[in-house]
Amino acid sequence: MIITVLCFTVVGIAQRTAIDAAFDTAVQQGFSGVLLVAKNGKPIANRVAGYRHFETQAPLQLSDVFELASVSKQFTAMAIMMLQEEGRLQYDDSLSKYIDLPYNGITIRQLLNHTSGLPDYQAVMDAHWDKSKVAGNEDCIRLLRQYQPSMLFTPGAQYRYSNTGYLLLASVVEKVSGKDFISYLQQRIFTPLKMQQTAIRTLEAKAATINFAAGHLKDSTGAYINANKFHSSDYTVWLGNRKGPGRISSTAADLLRWDKALYKNKLVQHSTLQQAFTPATLNNGQLSMYGFGWEIETHPVLGNIVKHNGDNPGYSTQIIRCVDKRYTVIVLCNNAHPSFRTLLSNIMQALAAEESK
């Protein structure tokens, strides 16, 4: 019995060493961010390096708040699933039942799994919106209605990642619930799960959040500066009131609370949640490996995996849930460093190596 315990201890140390080595290598290459790896909901590695603000060299902390970007989509999908479970909408309802748009034959399900064929709302806004004003969902919907850009394909014909779809889903939540989307998430998800650092924050709220990790990009000299100073980031201001595709900011610890809540079915029943982790079926019968706010894949060692990444100016984010082996990997980066992808790959290799023993 003692030998067994010692073997498990050695294996745990080897795994932690491999994860630490992957993180240290990324840091040496310039990575700035937080890493949290958990097994059965308990952290086995929690590391931080880099700066909250590169200009002042204020160091990052494990508890710092990051923009999640498109990792936010899983929360939008959860809001829809909660309303579906309550019988207030159905996945195969027509979008036109809730939102007046010149696009027919689109269902809530197709919005969830990116098979709607809708055009990009941001392209319409970029071409026609007065950028001295801050746009929200209603503004985006109004311009889609006004200019009517063409559909990209017949609904259900193919997968094509769509921020438009998730913006519309947030508006559906508001229509059905009678609540502002931000308030709905706060009241129904963040507060019940004690995700106290998680919110959809305005620019003013971010500035007032002491532990908010700013996103950074390199300037022409190679120095990291606040990403908001780049012209390419302007859309985050003039589209600053949109809801659904992104804009949630959170911490690694709060995302682990979210992860654990999903295993315990705290928000919806197991059968409802499993639909989020089920591939979409296209019109031709082929499968698309995206569910409701989650990418889906199968690893030869780690089994079923659901995950999502996010990219905002200066930010790269990822949550990976190995649902069979109960590993969770959360990486939040605030300088969009190229080593981000390699770090994720090396961590997954370390987890697979452990399970192969």
Catalytic residues: 70
Going from the C-alpha of 208 to that of each of 18, 95, 119, 191, 212, the distances in angstroms are: 37, 37, 35, 20, 8
With left for phi above 0 and alpha for psi between -120 and 50, is residue 151 left, alpha or beta? beta
Report long-range pairs for 100-104 (Cβ below 8 Å, ≥24 apart).
100/145, 101/141, 101/144, 101/145, 101/168, 102/144, 102/145, 102/148, 103/151
Q: Are 108 and 80 in contact (CB under 8 A)?
A: yes
Q: Are 347 and 19 in contact (CB under 8 A)?
A: yes
Q: Which residues pair with 199 in a beta bridge?
A: 249
- CA torsion angle 252 254 259 264 (round to 10): 160
